[in-house]
Structure 1
Amino acid sequence: MGHVSASGGRETSGHPIDARVSSRAFFGVSALLFAVSTAATVVGAASMSAMGEMPMPGGWSMSSAWMRMCGQTWAGVAASFLGMWVVMMVAMMLPSLVPMLLRYREAVGRSGETRLGWLTMRVGVGYFFVWTALGMATFPLGAALASLEMELPALARAVPFATGVIVLIAGALQFTAWKARRLACCREIPGRCLRVPALSADAATAWRHGLRLGLHCSYCCAGLTMILLVAGVMDLRVMAVVTAAITAERLAPHGERVAPVIGGVAVCVGVLLIAQAAGLGCGA
């Protein structure tokens, strides 16, 4: 049962080496998935941009993501939106998800579980299943609203003002105790805030844990997700800003202090948008 090799104290039992290999594989797969999803998001956004936007009353433009083009069916438009939504969410949320998956792996790995890769994948799939369901609910609402805006010029003219109000509300949400509690839980160990008594090493528990993480994360990101939707769901600049905000408040050493700063910026932007929509901006 020797644990020390002649080459200098290296363990030969296999378990520490396997753990290191598993950890490297986890980070390697995560990095590859992030790179692929980011590239797909950039390509998809460029494709949407090439299709052009429709000028609307009120001085704004409607993204083609909500419109049916010639020869397209609504099912095709929905599938295109959902595919873009999923790769976008993987690119945006993976930096914040990786630490949560690491905490899960640490909690389950203490039992000597050897299927960490498989169980981690189940958690991740469950997590993004929640975001996929959110995208499925978002598209019909967005498409219906877009149709109404094209039919009712008065409604279209109100969009810039409504956008400012939503950004303002989303910014104010960053200051609430509700947001602070959700954010604190995102930075905690598994089970403490998600009301999971124990994380047993089985596929069903991994799936349920992924769903809980996804639901909890969608609550925590509700305000920033609303900003993404109203400011430009397929706009790479908006995606980058929202991704940076979500990642900073989750991973920064004092994320609880970052969230109000983000809220302050959003409130200022919301006020500016409202002022511009009301004809009080610099260009009025």
Structure 2
Amino acid sequence: MAISRNIFWIAFFASILAAWWWLYSMSLSMNMDLMGRMSMENSMSQMSGDGDIAPMKGMSSFDSMNSGRAMSENTKEVAMPAMSGSMSMDTSITNFLPLAGMWTVMMAAMMLPTMVPTLRSYEDLMVSADGTRIGWLGVLLGYSIVWIGFALFITAVQKGLLSFNIVDMMGKAKSMWVSASLLMLAGAFQFTRAKEVCHGVCHSPMSYFLGHWKTGLNGGVRMGLSLGAYCVGCCWLFMVLGFAGGVMNFLWMGLATLMMVLEKLPQLGHFLVKPLGGILILSGLSVVAFTII
């Protein structure tokens, strides 16, 4: 029994690590840094090969700035495919299916860690309430289905924002005013009744299970769907904040994941909701001040 339990948990955490690794590998393939910005240094290193475009020792500054002399024909042959490859990668990520795949993996990386207290609570009831490992998997499946649905929805939102030229191809808002508004909106939501209700379920899964207990795979899926819906209601604006800093910004992904994990800790989360809201509002106001100044 203990061995079986450990295998499931190892697989669970391995899937989280795999999701983060996939996102990191994807950012590297797109020549992006950890802030989700295109890395000119990486692009230039691909283009330079063995240093063909670097100024030769003793060359005058005028000559080093002269593109006709500084770049050989061989270097151009290397540079152009590298540049076109990067552009094709940028274009492909704006297509619906690749973009939906990216968001789905991002949901796994960011939201599965927040589910640990829920799955632990279910395990505590596996003996006393006739729970089963298949029911445990059902809860996980139902929860995942909801977040995959949200991934498809936010993919459509990003496509719409891109078509209206509100965000760039990396999903980052082109206007600082939009970024500031998203931060303040996310902060204000922390003080609403909707947040209070959804968070009340998310950070106290044991109470939910005791009031809505269902056995077997179907029962687990139904509870997982319900818990996933509350979780989306609680955290959706944290995900939307990706448009403020860029959806491939690892700083945003890490901070958002940390905030959502801390919020759902049974003994601590209730005390963090409003302070986090205040921090987000102040962050938005800081962006406004920076924009004006």
| Change in CA separation of 1:82 and 1:212 when aligned onto 2, cut-off 3 Å | same
Whether 1:136 and 2:136 are equivalent positions in the alignment is: no
Paired residues, number:
239
2-structure distance, mates of 1:38, 1:180 = 30
| Change in CA separation of 1:157 and 1:169 when aligned onto 2, cut-off 3 Å | closer
How much has 1:167 moved relative to structure 2?
0.6
Higher helix share: 2
Whether 1:164 and 2:146 are equivalent positions in the alignment is: no
In structure 2, what is the equivalent of residue 246 of structure 1? 260
2-structure distance, mates of 1:90, 1:21 = 25
How much has 1:218 moved relative to structure 2?
0.5
2-structure distance, mates of 1:157, 1:224 = 15
2-structure distance, mates of 1:69, 1:80 = 15
Q: Which amino acid aligns with 1:271?
A: L
Identity of aligned residues (%): 23
Equivalent positions of 1:119-158 (< 5 A) are: 119-149=135-165
Q: Which amino acid aligns with 1:119?
A: G
User: More deviation in 36-45 or 162-171?
Assistant: 36-45
Equivalent positions of 1:4-15 (< 5 A) are: none
Where in structure 1 do 4 or more consecutive aligned residues deviate above 6 Å? 71-76
Whether 1:225 and 2:239 are equivalent positions in the alignment is: yes
Select the residue among 106, 118, 122 that pairs with 1:104: 122
How much has 1:249 moved relative to structure 2?
1.2
| Change in CA separation of 1:125 and 1:76 when aligned onto 2, cut-off 3 Å | farther
Structure 2-normalised TM-score? 0.71
Whether 1:264 and 2:278 are equivalent positions in the alignment is: yes
In structure 2, what is the equivalent of residue 11 of structure 1? none
Structure 1-normalised TM-score? 0.73
Q: Quote the RMSD (CA, aligned, Å).
A: 3.1
Structure 2: runs of 5+ lacking an equivalent: 39-85
1-structure distance, mates of 2:180, 2:89 = 34
| Change in CA separation of 1:236 and 1:49 when aligned onto 2, cut-off 3 Å | farther
2-structure distance, mates of 1:126, 1:145 = 29
In structure 2, what is the equivalent of residue 45 of structure 1? 27
| Change in CA separation of 1:242 and 1:73 when aligned onto 2, cut-off 3 Å | closer
**Matched-pair contact (CA < 8 Å) for 2:180–2:285:** yes
2-structure distance, mates of 1:76, 1:259 = 34
Q: Which amino acid aligns with 1:199?
A: K
Whether 1:199 and 2:217 are equivalent positions in the alignment is: no
In structure 2, what is the equivalent of residue 4 of structure 1? none
**Matched-pair contact (CA < 8 Å) for 2:142–2:225:** yes
1:234 aligns to what SS in structure 2? coil
| Change in CA separation of 1:69 and 1:205 when aligned onto 2, cut-off 3 Å | farther
